[in-house]
Amino acid sequence: MNVQEEITRLKEEKNAIILVHNYQRPKVQDVADYLGDSLGLSRKASNTNADMIVFCGVTFMAETAKILSPDKTVLLPRKEAGCPMADMVTSSDVIALKEKYPDAKVVSYVNTNADVKAVTDVCCTSSNAVEVVRNIEADRVIFVPDRNLASYVGRFVDKEIIPWDGYCYVHERITKDEVLKAKEKYPDALLLVHPECNPPVIDIADEVLSTQGMVDFVGESDNKRFLIGTEEGILYRLKKENPDKEFYPAGTPKICQNMKRTTLDDVYLALKDEQYPIEIPDEIISSAKRALEAMLQYV
Ligand code: 13P
Ligand code: SF4
């Protein structure tokens, strides 16, 4: 059996679409109908005509697709592909913060579980966090769960930000020392980093971008070499789309184990056996949808 061919056949039979995040394994990226960052994937999930979405990413991304398109079947090929950062804050934590700061609005990074989105005013992604916080009607903003993204946003807005102390274990491992060494080795390379990185790494970056922001920036840049400060999966796409340019990880390659759980066989099995469907209670869907749609209106 040819797995790629079976995937194509099943997709047509079931009117399914395969959405893939930029950190996924190369073979999974290659079967994507749409490959992108959290914002692009959310938009795609909200305006597809497909009946079924196979989401190759982590739980919060598939949940976001389900919240935006509740009538569709949304499948996560590996049930255990979670995001540890999303699990660092609970809805009770957010409710307690709201009680402590009643005048504040809540902005949640999409890297949160559905019940946290349900107690949120507006969601954001790494590509629109600054715009969302700047435009929300409040001088005080509770920002969960990523402390690094919160501090990055704080550089651009004149508002009080109350951060949660969450972080991404993958980006947290990128150190300023290793990035400086990489810059010494490739002095003509531009350093692109993700806003989940630590502030000392952000300070020395040429550009701070979402994963799709990196893809777009590289495509338009005249520079030849790039140091990439994010999960290593994106290097496959960057190299494939820009064969005339060179890409190096900014330090040792950093891997998100959760993003790498999904294999091509899992994608095939997901389509064949319709596994594993995302299920979210209706009342959570309706509140979380409001926060996600508010984000999609901002930018
Ligand atoms: P992007 O939305 O920039 O792709 O980031 C998602 C993510 O999980 C980063 O760790
Ligand atoms: Fe979560 Fe970090 Fe993995 Fe992104 S890279 S899915 S934030 S653990």
Ligand 1 contact via 115 beta carbon (within 6 Å): no
- Pairing of the two strands 207-208 and 246-249: unpaired
Residues 164, 108 share a domain = yes
pLDDT tens sequence across 160-214: 999 999 999 999 999 999 999 999 999 999 999 999 999 999 999 999 999 999 9
pLDDT at 298 over 80: no
Task: Give tens-digit pLDDT for 131-142.
Answer: 999 999 999 999
CB count in 10 Å sphere of residue 137: 7
Report yes or no on 254 lying in a domain: no
- Does any ligand 1 atom lie closer than 6 A to the CB of residue 125? yes
| Same domain (yes/no): 100, 163 | yes
Indicate if 190 and 124 belong to the same structural domain.
no
User: If phi over 0 gives left and psi between -120 and 50 gives alpha, with beta otherwise, what is residue 256?
Assistant: beta
Give me ligand 2 centre to Cα 99, in Å. 29
Q: Which of 275, 218, 231 is nearest to 23 (CA)?
A: 231
Q: 68 with 52, same domain?
A: yes
Using most ligand atoms within 8 A of CB, pick from 56, 85, 110, 194 the residue to mutate for ligand 1. 194
For the chain, percent of residues with pLDDT exceeding 90: 99
Tell me if 226 sits within 8 A of 237, measured CB to CB: no
Mean pLDDT of the chain: 97
In this structure, the residue with its CA closest to atom 1 of ligand 2 is 83
The closest ligand to the CA of 258 turns out to be: 2
Dist CA 174 CA 26 (whole Å): 22
How many Å apart are CA 156 and CA 124, to the nearest integer? Answer: 15
- Note whether 227 and 204 are same-domain residues: yes
**Model confidence pLDDT, tens digit, residues 104-113:** 999 999 999 9
Is the pLDDT at 156 greater than 80? The verdict is yes
State the pLDDT confidence band at 127, using cuts at 50, 70 and 90: very high
Mean of pLDDT values over 254-275: 98
Any idea which ligand is nearest the CA of 85? 2
Evaluate if residue 299 carries a pLDDT over 90: no
The verdict on residue 42 lying in a domain is yes
Distance 57 CA to ligand 1 centre (A): 10
The CATH code of the domain that includes 230 is 3.40.50.10800
Quick one: average pLDDT of 37-52? Answer: 95
Q: Is the CB of 168 under 6 A from ligand 1?
A: yes
Residues 238 and 184 in one domain: yes
Expressed in angstroms and rounded, the spacing between residue 71 Cα and the centre of ligand 2 is 27
Cα separation of 236 and 224, whole Å?
Answer: 16
Same-domain pairing of 212 and 150: no
Work out the average pLDDT over 269-281: 98
Residue owning the nearest CA to atom 6 of ligand 2:
83
Average pLDDT over residues 254-283: 98
Kindly state whether residues 200 and 236 are assigned to the same domain. yes
Whole-angstrom Cα distance, residue 254 to residue 269?
28
Q: How far apart are the first and last CA of the chain?
A: 44
* 185 and 227 inside one domain: yes
Cα 248–chain centre separation: 21
Residue range of the domain that includes 49? 3-81+259-279
- Same domain, yes or no: 244 and 212: yes
Q: Is the CB of 211 under 6 A from ligand 1?
A: yes
Alpha-carbon distance of 173 to 276, in angstroms, equals 31
Report if residue 17 sits inside a domain: yes
Question: Are the CB atoms for 194 and 211 separated by under 8 Å?
Answer: yes
Report if residue 160 sits inside a domain.
yes
Residue whose CA is at the smallest distance from ligand 1 atom 8: 111
33 within a domain of the structure (yes/no): yes
Q: Is residue 51 domain-shared with residue 35, that is, in the same domain?
A: yes
| Tally of domains within the chain | 3
Note the pLDDT tens digit of each residue in 205-249: 999 999 999 999 999 999 999 999 999 999 999 999 999 999 999
Residue 1 banded pLDDT, cuts 50, 70, 90: confident
Question: Per-residue pLDDT averaged across 56-70, rounded?
Answer: 97
SS3 string of the chain? CCHHHHHHHHHHHHCEEEEEECCCCHHHHCCCCEEECHHHHHHHHHCCCCCEEEEECCHHHHHHHHHHCCCCEEECCCCCCCCCCHHHCCHHHHHHHHHHCCCCEEEEECCCCHHHHCCCCEEECCCCHHHHHHHCCCCEEEEECEHHHHHHHHCCCCCEEEECCECCHHHHCCCHHHHHHHHHHCCCCEEEECCCCCHHHHHCCCEECCHHHHHHHHHHCCCCEEEEECCCCHHHHHHHHCCCCEEEECCCCCCCCCCCCCCHHHHHHHHHHCCCECCCCHHHHHHHHHHHHHHHHHC
